[in-house]
Structure 1
Amino acid sequence: MDSAQETIIAFLETVHPYDSLPRDVLTRVAAQFRRREYPENSEVYAAGEPLSGLYLVKRGAVEVLDPNGALVSVLGPRNSFGERGLLRDGLAMTSARTTRDSVLLMLPKAELRRLIDEYPAFERFFSRARQSAGHGADLATTKVSELMARKPLTCDPETPVAEAARLMRDNNVSSLGVVEGDGEAARLTGIVTTRDLTARVLAEGLDGSTPVGLVMTPDPLTLAPGSLGSDILHMMLERRIGHLPVVENGVLRGMITQTDLTRFQAVSSAQLIRDVATADTVEEMTEVTERIPRLLMQLVGAHNAHEVVTRLITDIADAVTRRLLVLAEARLGPPPVPYLWLACGSQGRQEQTGVSDQDNCLFLDDAVRPDDMDYFARLARFVCDGLNAAGYFHCPGDMMATNPRWCQPVRVWRQYFRNWVETPDPEAQMLASVMFDLRPIGGTSSLFRDLQAETLEMASRNSIFVAHMISNSLKHQPPLGLLRGFATIRSGEHRNHIDMKLGGVIPIVDLGRIYALQGRLSEVNTRARLLAAEEAGVVSVSGGRDLIEAYDMIASMRLESQAALVRSGRKPDNYLAPSDLSDFERSHLRDAFVVVRTMQSALGHGKGALG
């Protein structure tokens, strides 16, 4: 072995992921590298040129520019570049030029591909480069407001059905919104479709003068203009309906039908929802949920925003839960009193990823009798065991409807919240944190509606409770080291990793919950809470924007890490090795953690988020 190769080996031993290679493999790889010297201001390659290998900076500096000449990054020793083009079609996606006299090492693309195929550390390190550079609009991520093709046609409840039929025929539509009032004051009260006219008028022999109000579907399911296209698909497939009114503040803004969706292809999340909605057994649902990691990988690879990815993943859990409730009632018979199944935790916040347990509870109508409790105990056991079989594991803390403590009448739940607020001991703080993330999933939603508003008001007025909640939220700290590094796990399976859930996402979730409490904000999703807190003045504009950007980076990197694990054939988890990141990524991730720590400090020192 000559001295030049020994020098390259010594250098590679200081560069990740080469430092993870066995000695004999490292020796082989070092022999493959080609050493090249470039004077200052030399072009290494231009955008669109064929790339013969991966470049590694040994000495000097290189700037990378996009095809328009805009600066993308400045690289120094131990930084790699050129991999995005190599791992796509072999053509450079950027241009590279030295800014100082530089020594670069070039690894042939065949050797790079071999390393990625054979060693997980290389697959993880370069996985981001393998993702597609762009992704066109699809139905799942398109806003409902962008899908509405025309102004909605309406009639009032007194309109004769014959006139309504002519209105639909003349305008070539299959439904009308039934409203009361005029203009912006009009409120949607129902919907009538051509199917209604067939089944409820013609089939029943009713006269054409029959008022629409007698045959319409009252209080129909609706969506807001800001909902996603996935909401349309999931609701239509799960509830077997073909028309959805789009409503904002009670006013009908549009109508979405199955015909409106024909220009879009249904994405895989909608396919999973459909398969869940038609499943007759837990085993069939389990077959569906086993496809979620693949869906996660595809959604992340398509560069969807993290809040879209987690929303689509959570929608599947919601559908599984509702389907299990249907199957439970089919087995046990109709419930003796109305009930409401609610989710808390990540499902409640619509933030599920590829790793999820279950957190849920049951609200029962106050008319429930002691003899009725056995029915709900059996329903809870059926649903929770079904969720567990489908991959949503039993909660280690027993925060589930199978626990009699969390299967109670509304009056008991009201007293629970009152006691937690008035006596905020450590258990009360923990339970209140969980329960403030409640979201109705299936059943009679009105059982929770008033309770949520009154609890927020009661809690926000109690300064002692708020102070205890703030103190409790600050227990989760970002993993920042003392010397501009990260505080990684020191031993065990995840040694030298950081927990992107406990140290990354959870501190921001806690902040969002406190802001929602202080501002009496009804939002449950973390990002929605941060946006609402900024709009309501609970946080300053600059502090809110910084925190949202920090959250977006941390949550996105967590999902990208999980997707990389799935891509390599492993189960997703929440652990990320900082050494797998580029210097650029490590710097920005640390900056994001610093923002979170700063906002925590402001809250902890009594300045609120405005300090």
Structure 2
Amino acid sequence: MSLSVELIRFLASVHPYDTLTEAELGALAEHCSLAEMSAGQQVFGVGDVVEYLYLLVAGEVEVFDEVGAPLSFLGPRNSFGERAILRGTHASRTAIVFADAAMIRIPAATLNALIAQHPAVARFFDRTGRAQPAKRDLATMAVEGLMTRDPVVCPPDSTIREAASKMYAQRISSICIAQDGAFQGIVTLRDMNGKVVVEGADPTADVATIMTRAPLTLGPKALVTDVLHLMVERGIGHVPIAEGETLVGIVTQTDLTRAQAMTSADLVGRVSKAQDAAQMARATAEIPQLLVQLISSGSRHEVVTRLITDIADTATRRLLALAEAELGAPPVPYLWLACGSQGRQEQTGVSDQDNCLILSDDVTEADMPYFEALARFVCDGLNTIGYVYCPGDMMATNPRWRQPLSVWRSYFDGWIAKPNPEAQMLASVMFDLRPIGGDTSLFDGLQAETLRKASANSIFVAHMVANSLKHYPPLGLLRGLATIRAGEHRNQLDMKHNGVVPITDLGRIYALQGQLAPVNTRARLEAAMEAGVLSVTGGADLLDAYDLIATMRLEDQVSQIKAGDAPDNYLDPATLSDFERSHLRDAFVVVKTMQSAAGSGKGALS
């Protein structure tokens, strides 16, 4: 039965139906109906086939999860039921009328047709961006979609002339060196010209004598933009693609010429060539506009934060190079690492710096002033270009975080053995370490060793779980949104500390429990599901919640930038539609539920 004129007007006042033309609304109304239900009646339950999307006109409905815990309390203009429809699954929730209600029912087939035909409707019902059509650009394309597969190879005992003949015959600018399936190195036309033509290497010598050994590689799941950034920063034209020791492909500048360049690569290039921090700052000042462009183009949040973090990584390595140029070669090997959002590759439009130095155990007291000066040079430079000093002094300029490898091992051992509040806090930060520049061998084995020791200490794990629950989602009475009560950000939501941080903390706990190597939050959740540390159902819900919260945080920062303001992490829920507020609340409830499971000792699989 078609809707009345009054109900059609109501439908037209609710987003996204307000984007439809009068004729489209009329056609939609022909398929809809009105349902009236009394308090206490069940609309659908766990396991039911959900046949309609329900839009509340009047009354209230409460939604419960599969174990009966309340999830949402919905009023007029809110809708529910789309979760099962869009996933093509039976209901995993129960909806019960709390106060006598009138609901417009939109059939599942009609909703799916609307989503397929109207981009505005599709965007509205897919806040995570999963329903958006795949775009063939450098931001979203995996390397495996662009790389040359089965690259030309030769064994290391081939002669230089034989290798050159293969390159000439295949009309290629590089050849990979491999033995028994193990990738060993690469020889390019530049090597042939420089080492053979100019320097006079013997053409009958083994090609291994002129190859670049253990060159930089990426995996097939890396982004094409990662390749472009690597090429621009390091001044190379070929990036082998490998899985472990096995060569699976190669990406060259010719391959990239066929793809569309991105502005993030432009910034990486300018930063990598800057002669000082002031020149670098002119490039990093464009990061807010880059954020606007990336979000406006529909890039997913984890891609956006990866690209923005790439710029910070490049800036750090460039500052290290400039520091060495001024101070001279380091007296012993060192490794600069990032923690915090840079370590997790999750930087947004507003980020401070969190970093540290691991020094070779060969370092002496006489060497320490060099590394103090190096740390000061880099941290001051990062502050100049927009990555402000860490308020908690978690930086390499602090002598505590500029120590030999043996001291770092003792730090982790001490935190694990005596997990007092400070140890819990520090361990949480340091579990997010990621090497940025220097001798990466100083980090080899440290992460795995630490995870192994930490996961084996049940007391430490319990303390870390408790510490992770100190950040909680902003939920109030009846699971409504609880805004900040006073101060500069009164009536707003802190989308960092009460939004993404609780999920980041959970991801770190799952990584600890499963001894998982990833540092990025989304990668940790996915790895936890694959390892069985996190249930498929719980993991899918938590990923959806994370995608929603992280995306809304970035979108709000973009709105602030467009308004001419500096971006921050505070969102006014009054700027959201009823639907957006409802789903944001649902996302926070999911996080709260997973925190409760972790805190109860039942584990992520409960």
Q: Which of the numbers 517, 523, 531 marks the counterpart of 2:526?
A: 531
Alpha carbons 2:352, 2:388 under 8 Å: kept: yes
Deviation readout 1:447-476 (Å, 9 max, x if unpaired): 011111111111111111111100100111
TM-score by length of 2: 0.81
Give the counterpart of 1:349 among 333, 341, 344.
344
2:5 to 31, 35, 38: 38
- 1:39–1:584: structure 2 CA closer, same or farther, 3 Å change rule? closer
**1:313-462 → structure 2 map (5 Å cutoff):** 313-462=308-457
Work out whether 1:579 is the aligned partner of 2:574.
yes
- The answer to whether the 8 Å contact 1:342/1:439 transfers is yes
Question: Partner of 1:558 in structure 2?
Answer: 553
Q: CA deviation at 1:563?
A: 0.8
1:479 equivalent in structure 2: 474
Aligned residues: 514
Q: In structure 2, what is the Cα distance between the partners aligned to 1:72 and 1:171?
A: 58
The residue aligned with 1:56 is none
Q: Contact 2:316/2:382 (CA < 8 Å) preserved in 1?
A: yes
Cα shift readout 1:488-517 (whole Å, capped 9, x = no counterpart): 101112111110000010000000001000
**1:541 matched to which residue of 2?**
536
Q: CA deviation at 1:39?
A: 4.6
- In 1, the alpha carbon distance for the partners of 2:350 and 2:273 equals 24
Q: Distance in 2 between matches of 1:297 and 1:344?
A: 25
Alpha-carbon distance in 2 for matches of 1:39, 1:496: 34
Q: What is the alpha-carbon distance in structure 1 between the residues aligned to residue 562 and residue 157 of structure 2?
A: 59
Task: Report the Cα offset of residue 49 of structure 1.
Answer: 5.1
Q: Residue 501 in 1 paired to residue 496 in 2? A: yes
**SS in structure 2 of the partner of residue 492 of structure 1:** coil
Q: CA offset at residue 283 of structure 1?
A: 0.5
Residue type at the aligned position of 1:604: G
Q: Is the 2:372–2:397 contact (alpha carbons within 8 Å) kept by the matching residues of 1?
A: yes
- Kindly provide the amino acid, as one letter, of the partner of residue 135 in structure 2: G
Do the aligned partners of 1:168 and 1:175 also contact (CA within 8 Å) in 2?
yes
Which aligned pairs between 1:77-92 and structure 2 lie closer than 5 A? none
CA gap 1:202/1:50 in 2 versus in 1, 3 angstroms? farther
2:464 aligned residue: 469
| Counterpart contact for 2:57–2:104, Cα < 8 Å | no
CA distance in 1, matches of 2:18, 2:423: 61
Unmatched runs of 5 consecutive residues or more in structure 1: 1-36, 52-59, 64-69, 81-97, 101-124
Match of 1:146 in 2: 145
Cα shift readout 1:388-435 (whole Å, capped 9, x = no counterpart): 011101000100000000000000001000000001110000000000
How far does residue 204 in structure 1 lie from its aligned partner after superposition? 2.0
Contact 1:61 1:74 in 2 (8 A): no
Alignment match, 1:112: none
State the shift of 1:258 in Å: 0.2
- My pick for the range that moved more, 549-558 or 478-487, is 478-487
C-alpha distance in structure 1 between counterparts of 2:370 and 2:484, whole Å: 46
Q: Give CA deviations for 1:544-593 in whole Å, capped at 9, x if unaligned.
A: 11111111111111111111111111111111111111111111111111
Secondary structure at the counterpart of residue 141 of structure 1: coil
Secondary structure of the 1:368 match is coil
Which residue identity lines up with residue 172 of structure 1 in the other structure?
R
Q: State the alpha-carbon separation in 2 of the partners of residues 281 and 228 from structure 1.
A: 29
Counterparts of 2:22 and 2:542 in 1: how far apart (Å)?
41
- One-letter amino acid matched to 1:607: K
Distance 2:453 2:148 in 1: 44
Q: Distance in 2 between matches of 1:336 and 1:173?
A: 41
CA separation in 2, counterparts of 1:141 and 1:382?
35
Q: Residue 604 of structure 1 corresponds to which residue in structure 2? A: 599
Instruction: Quote the offset at 1:99 in angstroms.
Output: 5.5
Q: Indicate the residue corresponding to 1:169 in structure 2.
A: 168
Closer/same/farther in 2, CA of residues 253 and 62 from structure 1, 3 Å limit: farther
Provide the rounded CA distance (Å) in 2 between the counterparts of 1:276 and 1:581. 37
SS, match of residue 609 in structure 1: coil
- Following superposition, the deviation at residue 75 of structure 1 comes to 7.1
Aligned pairs for 1:134-283 (under 5 A) are 136-181=135-180, 186-283=181-278
Give the Cα separation in 2 of the matches to 1:50 and 1:260: 48
Question: 219-228 or 143-152: which moved more?
Answer: 143-152
1:135 Cα deviation from its structure 2 partner: 7.6
Distance 1:426 1:438 in 2: 20
How far apart, CA to CA, are the structure 2 residues paired with 1:375 and 1:355?
31
- Paired residues of 2:545 and 2:587 also in contact (CA < 8 A): yes
Q: SS where residue 351 of structure 1 aligns? A: coil
Q: Give 3-state SS (helix, strand or coil) of 2:394's partner.
A: coil
Taking the aligned partners of 1:367 and 1:404, their CA distance within structure 2 comes to 17
Q: Deviations over 1:61-88 (max 9, x none)?
A: 999xxxxxx99884758869xxxxxxxx
CA shift in 2, pair 1:491/1:196, >3 Å: same
Cα shift at 1:137: 2.0
Change (3 A) 1:420 1:47: closer
Q: Tell me, what secondary structure is at the counterpart of 1:336? A: coil
* Residues 318 and 337 of structure 1: CA distance in aligned 2, closer, same or farther (over 3 Å): same
Q: For the Cα contact (< 8 Å) 1:61–1:76, is it kept in 2? A: no
Q: 2:153 corresponds to which letter in structure 1?
A: T
Give the fraction of aligned pairs with identical amino acids, expressed as a percent. Answer: 60
- Structure 1 counterpart of 2:284: 289
Aligned-pair distance for 1:150?
Answer: 3.8
Amino acid at match of 2:259: F
Structure 1 counterpart of 2:151, one-letter code: P
- Match of 2:236, as an amino acid? I
* Post-superposition offset of 1:265: 2.2
Secondary structure of the structure 1 residue equivalent to 2:176: strand
Equivalent residue of 2:488, what SS? coil
CA contact (8 A) 1:473 1:510 kept: yes
Letter of the 1:212 counterpart = V
Distance 1:202 1:423, change over 3 A: same
CA positional deviation for 1:249: 1.9
Conservation of the 8 A alpha-carbon contact between 1:41 and 1:99: no
Deviations, residues 322-352 of structure 1 (Å, cap 9, x unaligned): 0000000000000000000000000000000
CA distance in 2 between counterparts of 1:330 and 1:72 reads 64
Q: Distance in 2 between matches of 1:145 and 1:529?
A: 22
Contact residue 240 and residue 247 of structure 2 kept, 8 A: yes
Instruction: Identify the match of residue 310 of structure 1 among 292, 296, 305.
Output: 305
- What letter corresponds to residue 5 of structure 2 in structure 1? Y
Does the 8 Å CA contact 2:479/2:589 hold for their aligned counterparts? Answer: no
Amino acid corresponding to residue 192 of structure 1 in structure 2: V
Residues 49 and 467 of structure 1: CA distance in aligned 2, closer, same or farther (over 3 Å): closer
1:253-273 Cα offsets, whole Å, 9 max, x none, are: 001100001112210000000
- Confirm or deny: 8 A CA contact 1:282 1:389 kept in the other structure: yes
Look up the SS of the partner of 1:139 in the other structure: coil
After superposition, give the CA deviation of every residue in 1:262-290 in whole Å (9 maximum; x if it has no partner).
11221000000000011001101111111
Query: What amino acid is the match of 2:225?
Result: S
Other-structure match for 2:90: none
Closer/same/farther in 2, CA of residues 233 and 72 from structure 1, 3 Å limit: farther
